[in-house]
């Protein structure tokens, strides 16, 4: 993969907006200190995802497990949320044909169908359980902490459904937990009931965990080449050690996005792949960037209330929607496009008697149109003075996706240093969790004094 970043600079835009080219030297000069901070923090046990390029044994173990299980079941049901679901959704849509579950057994090469439940919306869960045959399902419950309310609730519903259909003893054979290696409620249940359990490395945070058993097991079950995913990740990791910023793609990407925000107020970071198959990747990026960088305090505990706002978009669809805002709205955005050079393509057929306004499309391919739209939009944004960058992928395969995922994780890790925040915690989501626990009656979580769940004074409600 390559990063095309010239259009972040004023000299490639309208001359007035964008980063002034000489200021790249500031970033280049500061980068060795950024690298050194990452290295220092790695020594102290942070940045655990750097170890994911070297997982031969884990990958072999998962392969073996998947090969055994893969024969026995024809539907994989994944239960998880946030970092325990978004990564696998990305792998599924990027690396398997669209509408995977609708394909015949033969077209799926006899790999199972897959459903990823990432919410507690009763409608989605009820519909999934009506559709899936409990005798033929393998359920992978994924929670690093093992105590996330949504995943626990999903599990209890699914477990009762399995028990009822198969009996509790047989149900156990349809389950695997992916959780902390030693602690947490799921680990405890696995040990007590003899449920298969895979380990999430404790040093790897949830949103950085797709290339651990969190994503690797379901991916292997549906026939994704997990060795090649890791191989791609290794390439991104190798490149990320280069001290020269302009030779370090993840370092440079993080530096430019940070500079756009810090120096020019471009705090909306749009992720816009030009393919439906990376729509879920954009959602995964949103979580990674937002939860890692949106922080109230810096590393020293000083209030900063910082963090870019990531925004997902999809080309060409959003050219008829959000792009109007990106072109003419406030100068507060950077648009990252992702294009794929080689794709399975469809030729637009010739058809007699077409009006001139349509006839020009004949003989081209849909892929050509998509990529022409990407280039045209990048050029148009530039002419309007809008910073943009393009990630160029040669094709969508496991190696390229492994590299893309690791590239973004590395960029996020570097961005933590540029922004001066800890990219691996998420203290801001804790209060909401505690209030939910209180509302649901979890022992030890009483309603917190000054905080009320009911915002309405008489008169503060509208509607019938
Ligand atoms: O990135 C994170 O840490 C979070 O988004 C978690 O992935 C999410 O909260 C789910 O947590 P868990 O895997 O512990 O159930």
1-60 per-position pLDDT tens digit = 999 999 999 999 999 999 999 999 999 999 999 999 999 999 999 999 999 999 999 999
Q: How many Å lie between the centroid of ligand 1 and the Cα of residue 240?
A: 25
Query: Residues 264-285: what's their mean pLDDT?
Result: 98
Give, in order, the Cα–Cα distances in Å from 148 to each of 80, 142, 184: 9, 10, 10
Mean pLDDT value of segment 275-279: 98
Cα–Cα separations (whole angstroms), residue 112 to 34, 69, 170, 398: 44, 10, 20, 18
* Whole-number pLDDT of residue 68: 84
Residue 395 has pLDDT above 50, yes or no: yes
Lowest mean pLDDT among 156-160, 283-287, 447-451: 447-451
Q: Is 433 a catalytic residue?
A: yes
Q: What is the distance between the alpha carbons of residues 321 and 234, in angstroms, rounded to a whole number? A: 37
Q: What is the pLDDT of residue 450?
A: 46
Distance, CA 207 to ligand 1 centroid (Å)? 7
Question: Does 443 or 347 have the greater pLDDT score?
Answer: 347
State whether the beta carbon of 209 lies less than 6 angstroms from ligand 1. Answer: no
Q: Catalytic residue among 46, 118, 291, 399, which?
A: 291
Per-residue confidence at 444, pLDDT binned at 50, 70, 90?
Answer: confident
Instruction: List the single range of 66-80, 108-122, 303-317, 396-410 with lowest mean pLDDT.
Output: 66-80
**Pairs from 191-196 (Cβ < 8 Å, separation ≥ 24):** 196/65
End-to-end C-alpha distance for the chain, whole angstroms: 54
User: How close is the Cα of 226 to the center of ligand 1, in Å?
Assistant: 22
Average pLDDT rounded to a whole number, residues 335-359: 96
What atom in ligand 1 is closest to the CA of residue 151?
Answer: 15
Determine which residue's CA is closest to atom 12 belonging to ligand 1: 143
Is the separation of the CB atoms in 176 and 217 below 8 Å? yes
The pLDDT of residue 147: 93
Mean pLDDT of 164-184: 97
Atom number, ligand 1, closest to the C-alpha of residue 214? 13
Query: How confident is the model over 205-215, as a mean pLDDT?
Result: 98
State phi, psi for 449 to the nearest 5 degrees.
-20, -70
Residue 318, CA atoms < 13 Å, CB-side half-sphere: 22
Average pLDDT over residues 403-411: 98
Predicted local distance difference test score (pLDDT) of residue 248? 98
Is 183 one of the catalytic residues?
Answer: no
Pair of tokens at residue 93:
């849509």
Q: In the prediction, which pLDDT does 141 show?
A: 98
Determine if ligand 1 sits within 6 Å of the CB of residue 205.
yes
| 174 Cβ inside 6 Å of ligand 1 | no
Mean pLDDT across 370-399? 98
Say if CB 296 and CB 303 are below 8 A apart.
yes
Check residue 71 and give its pLDDT. 72
Residue 455 confidence (pLDDT): 63
pLDDT band at 162 (very low <50, low <70, confident <90, very high): very high
Strand order in the sheet with 75-79: 113-117, 75-79, 137-142, 175-179, 196-199
- The answer, yes or no, to whether any atom of ligand 1 lies below 6 A from the CB of 185, is no
* pLDDT category of residue 448 using cuts at 50, 70 and 90: low
Q: Residue 446: pLDDT above 90?
A: no
Mean pLDDT for the chain? 95
Q: For residues 147 and 335, what is the distance between their CA atoms, to the nearest angstrom?
A: 37
User: How far is 447 from 445, CA to CA, in rounded Å?
Assistant: 7
Query: What's this model's pTM, rounded to 2 decimal places?
Result: 0.96
Question: How far apart, in whole angstroms, are the C-alpha atoms of residue 388 and residue 310?
Answer: 14
Beta strands per DSSP E along 298-366: 303-306, 309-312, 333-340
- Predicted confidence band of residue 430 (pLDDT cuts 50, 70, 90): confident
Predicted confidence (pLDDT) at residue 460 exceeds the cutoff of 90: no
User: 350 catalytic, yes or no?
Assistant: no
């Amino acid at each position: 993969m390559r990063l095309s970043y010239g259009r972040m600079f004023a000299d490639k835009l309208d001359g007035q907006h964008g980063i002034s080219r000489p200021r790249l030297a500031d970033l280049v000069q500061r980068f060795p200190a950024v690298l050194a901070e990452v290295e220092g923090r790695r020594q102290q046990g942070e940045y655990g995802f750097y170890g994911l390029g070297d997982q031969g044994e884990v990958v072999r173990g998962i392969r073996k497990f998947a090969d055994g299980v893969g024969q026995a079941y024809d539907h994989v049901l994944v239960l998880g949320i946030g970092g325990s679901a978004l990564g696998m959704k990305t792998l599924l849509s990027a690396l398997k044909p669209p509408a995977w579950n609708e394909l015949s057994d033969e077209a799926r090469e006899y790999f199972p169908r897959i459903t990823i439940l990432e919410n507690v919306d009763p409608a989605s869960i009820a519909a999934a359980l009506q559709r899936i045959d409990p005798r033929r399902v393998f359920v992978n419950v994924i929670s690093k902490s093992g105590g996330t309310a949504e995943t626990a609730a999903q599990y209890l519903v699914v477990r009762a459904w399995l028990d009822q259909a198969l009996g509790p003893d047989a149900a156990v054979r349809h389950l695997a937990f992916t959780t902390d290696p030693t602690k947490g409620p799921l680990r405890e249940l696995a040990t007590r009931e003899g449920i298969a359990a895979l380990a999430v490395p404790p040093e790897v945070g949830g949103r950085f965990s797709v290339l651990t058993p969190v994503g690797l097991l379901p991916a292997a079950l549906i026939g994704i080449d997990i060795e090649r995913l890791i191989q791609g990740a290794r390439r991104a990791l190798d490149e990320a050690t280069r001290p020269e910023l302009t030779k370090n793609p993840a370092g440079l990407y993080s530096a430019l996005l940070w500079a756009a925000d810090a120096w020019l107020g471009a705090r909306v970071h749009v992720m816009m792949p030009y393919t439906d198959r990376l729509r879920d990747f954009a959602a995964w990026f949103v979580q990674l960037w937002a939860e890692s960088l949106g922080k109230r305090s810096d590393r020293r505990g000083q209030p900063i209330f910082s963090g870019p706002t990531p925004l997902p978009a999809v080309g060409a669809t959003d050219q008829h929607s959000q792009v109007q805002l990106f072109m003419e709205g406030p100068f507060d955005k950077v648009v990252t496009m992702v294009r794929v050079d080689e794709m399975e393509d469809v030729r637009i057929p010739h058809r007699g008697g077409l009006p001139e306004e349509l006839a020009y499309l004949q003989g081209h391919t849909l892929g050509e149109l998509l990529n022409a739209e990407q280039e045209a939009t990048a050029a148009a944004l530039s002419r309007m003075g809008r910073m943009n960058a393009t990630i160029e992928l040669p094709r969508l395969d496991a190696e390229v996706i492994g590299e893309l995922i690791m590239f973004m994780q590395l960029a996020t890790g570097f961005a933590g240093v540029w922004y001066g925040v800890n990219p691996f915690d998420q203290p801001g989501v804790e209060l909401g969790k505690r209030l939910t626990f209180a509302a649901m009656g979890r022992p030890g979580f009483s309603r917190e004094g000054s905080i009320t769940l009911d915002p309405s004074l008489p008169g503060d409600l509208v509607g019938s």
